[in-house]
Amino acid sequence: MWVDDSKPNHVMGKVRRDGYILFWWIGDHEPRHVHVQTAKGRKLGRVNLDTLEGMENWTPPKHLVDIIMELKREGRL
pLDDT of 50-66, one tens digit each? 999 999 999 999 999 99
pLDDT of 12-37, one tens digit each? 899 999 999 999 988 888 999 999 99
pTM over 0.85: no
Give the pairing type, strands 11-17 and 20-25: antiparallel
